[in-house]
Structure 1
Amino acid sequence: MAQAVTETKIETVAACLREGGVVLLPTDTVYGLAVSPEYPEAVARLFALKQRPAQRNLPVMVADLEALGPLGLERTPVMDRLAASSFVPGALTLAVGFSERPRPIWLEGREEVAFRIPNHPFLLALLRTMGPLLVTSANGHGMATAERVEGILPQLSGRPDLVIDGGTLSGDPSTLVNCRVDPPRVEREGVIPEKTIRELLA
């Protein structure tokens, strides 16, 4: 059963994630499918629901920049400049590499991680409760993300364990910037125009 977004639902969502569930929820951009990275079975189910190719790593959502250290992610001047902009928290996803710090087991084998801090009180509260989550757009692979839950569920190969209905969303994804290359490269233009990113970096 779909549930409306309220602060009282945070523990309901957290409980589902702690049990290895997959949650369909609203973000500040599009609907997402979220799992705790601590449950490989949940991660595998998320891939299956989307029919997402296994080689396409999932992005990470965090509550703040301080969460990057325990993940072993590298902070660079370019990343920090973009992260200090008015688009963070918000619809800006940054791909970064790893520092020499230890990383969690669930990030082993990766060369980079795309992370985002959402501008969404419900999600931020959930991330502070749970820690980093793997969150990807809620759509079948290669399909556009529908603006409403009713349009998303038919795209999926199965049903998430919990559905949080946040009404109609924009359907526009975040803008993805690869900060590992020089110069930084916009790999997906979303809510934030590429021109704006270039102006921030000029």
Structure 2
Amino acid sequence: MARTLPISDPDTLAVAIEALRRGEPIAVPTETVYGLAADATNPEAITRIYEAKGRPRFNPLIAHVSDIEMAKAHVVFSPLADKLAEAFWPGPLTLVLPLNPSAKIHPLATAGLATAALRMPQGFAREIIAAFGQPLAAPSANRSGRVSPTTAAHVADDLGDKISLILDGGSCRVGVESTILSVEGDHLRLLRPGGIAAKDIEDIAGMAVERPVQQSGNMVIAPGMLASHYAPDSALRLNASAVRPGEAVIRFGGAQIPGEEEASVVMDLSPTGDLREAAANLFDFIKRADAAGVVGIAVAPVPMHGLGEAINDRLSRAAAPRE
């Protein structure tokens, strides 16, 4: 089983760097979710990420960097990309940009594409990358397609028998993955809604963020684009207006759902209707409902504005038919 070390321990950073230099993937806390991090330039290390997660290798990984200089050693920044990085890095924004000819990020991490997805995380994860001196590929630290982890205990439950080290930084502040944005000339394309609302990006960029008409499962150019993803074992039912006996209920804004007295579990993402609180609670509540052995999970409607777009994206993928 994996060893869990608190990030407050002064020896944890050195232990983490040693594991990374051996090519081992380790679980690290970020402001979004816990990531399964390994050297993005080392094909053996990247392969171990895919093996631990059971992740399809056509599904690219985000490479995490510690500063803009490290990022520009691997991808080409346009003036628009520079503007966005200056506004939102470090933070929950991933930029998909053309690879530099001299980039050392391995094709296994980019799924062989001519672009790479890069992010600069906040907190201890950034310290690790700076000390390691290379980008870290770090998808969410869970089995592929399952609910993303927002605590070290979530990681241990899902991957504790497949990795050697989990770094415990407490609960993730944002609670949903980063927003993924493709910067193509003067066009911005939203590939995955996430921890930064599209409206905030538009305010900085001074232009609209385009949304694909549809995201085909056969054309995966960034993480989180698979139709079925973030899936619990229990069937998840969206926009519930009534509760079926034995279901778990995840509601929003303090509004009760008819039939709640028949529910096995009732949780509220944010009784006050705060979308940031709702995003931070989302994956933890899905995991708690799933662990309760319920007949299904009924989720009340969540508004689509702001972070609600990311919340609804995760819920729709969690409820999608399983292949």
| Global fold match (TM > 0.5) | yes
Deviations 1:13-34 (A, max 9, x none): 0000001111011012110000
Q: Which has the higher contact order (CA 8 A, sep 6+)?
A: 1
The alpha carbon displacement at 1:141 in A equals 1.7
- Whether the aligned pair in 1 keeps the contact of 2:29 and 2:168 (CA below 8 Å) is yes
- Whether the aligned pair in 1 keeps the contact of 2:26 and 2:166 (CA below 8 Å) is yes
The alpha carbon displacement at 1:152 in A equals 2.7
Deviations 1:125-170 (A, max 9, x none): 2111212111111122222213222223333494212111122224
Over the matched positions of the two proteins, sequence identity in percent amounts to 30
Q: Specify the SS of the correspondent of 2:52.
A: helix
- Which residue among 6, 20, 45 is the counterpart of 1:42? 45
Confirm whether residue 198 of structure 1 aligns to residue 199 of structure 2. no
- Aligned residue pairs, count: 198
Where do 5+ consecutive residues of structure 2 fail to align? 207-323
Counterpart for residue 186 of structure 1: 190
Q: Specify the SS of the correspondent of 2:102.
A: coil
Amino acid at match of 2:90: P
The RMSD of aligned alpha carbons is 2.0
- Which residue among 105, 127, 130 is the counterpart of 1:125? 127
In 1, the alpha carbon distance for the partners of 2:160 and 2:11 equals 29
- Whether the aligned pair in 2 keeps the contact of 1:52 and 1:141 (CA below 8 Å) is yes
Deviations 1:13-60 (A, max 9, x none): 000000111101101211000001343222112112211110111110
Where do 5+ consecutive residues of structure 1 fail to align? none
- Larger CA Rg, structure 1 vs 2: 2
Counterpart for residue 28 of structure 1: 31
Q: Deviating runs (4+, > 4 A) in structure 1?
A: none
Counterpart for residue 106 of structure 1: 106
1:1-202 matches, cutoff 5 A: 1-6=3-8, 7-71=10-74, 73-85=75-87, 87-99=88-100, 101-104=101-104, 106-107=106-107, 109-120=112-123, 122-130=124-132, 131-156=134-159, 158-170=161-173, 171-180=175-184, 182-202=186-206
Amino acid at match of 2:194: G
